[in-house]
Amino acid sequence: MQVDVRSRDGPRCLFCFPAAISPSQLLVSTPNFYLLAPVGQVVEGYLSIMTRACHDTPFRLRCFDDVLEEWFPEIETLQSLITGFYSDVYDAPPVFYEHGRGGGGASAFAEEDYAFHPHLCSLPGSLRIHEPLSELFASSPAPLPGLREQIGFRPYIYVHTPFDAGHQEPIAYFTADDPADGRVTGFRLKKLLVDANGLDSGWDWRTHPGESELNSLIERFTDWYTSKFRHY
């Protein structure tokens, strides 16, 4: 099944191809995804696996819970690539997470006027994330694909720390009592990461774009990828 990338009426999504990014930020591309080095580096090494399209036909892709099951081998390939990069360059394990705010049926975050676009983020390092989230939300095992069977259509925060002995399997955090509760939708996950780990980077990419860290990441990844996968 192919996803039609034609835009609906209204502003086009900035992350659908061709994405509104610098070409240097596009690190790797597969048939249905691309690996982005985003601005707003919470820590150097912040990466995001993005779908190449999110528009409405044949259905709206808002979060990874909407992604076609047959696409997941590509996601696993990119996650393996990220894990190897973090290990070789930063000597650190990955933290994978997604703020699945579109799970409740909304298609856009009204406060900031942008469309939900599926993106699985990653950071290098053993960062505190499960403990503070578990104090705020209910949780459930979070298989992808298959998350919807666990928690329904609730918005969620997906976290996978495969090298954390206490949390090796993916976990979804959500509001248990009211699926329409807006606490997850409006939650500032990057702010929690900054506060819980005492990071000196800002959480808002607008005020803390992290340009030097972004440039360093792009250079490091390009050198690593070129040496790891020589093309002939």
| CATH superfamily membership of 23-197 | HIT-like (3.30.428.10)
pLDDT for the residue 85: 98
pLDDT for the residue 158: 95
pLDDT for the residue 36: 96
pLDDT for the residue 181: 65
Give the three-class secondary structure for 192. Answer: helix
Residues of the chain falling short of pLDDT 70: 1-11, 56-59, 101-115, 179-181, 231-232
pLDDT for the residue 2: 35
The pTM of the full predicted model, rounded to 2 decimals, is: 0.88
Sign of CA dihedral 17, 33, 166, 84: negative
Q: What are phi and psi of 189, to 5 degrees?
A: -65, -40
Please list, in sequence order, all residues whose beta carbon lies within 8 angstroms of the beta carbon of residue 194, skipping any fewer than 6 positions away: 42, 201, 202, 203
Closest CA to 98 of 65, 76, 135: 65
pLDDT for the residue 5: 37
pLDDT for the residue 81: 97
Q: Write the pLDDT tens digit of every residue in 28-70.
A: 999 999 999 999 999 999 999 999 988 755 667 888 888 889 9
Domain boundaries in the chain?
Answer: 23-197
Question: Is the separation of the CB atoms in 102 and 116 below 8 Å?
Answer: yes
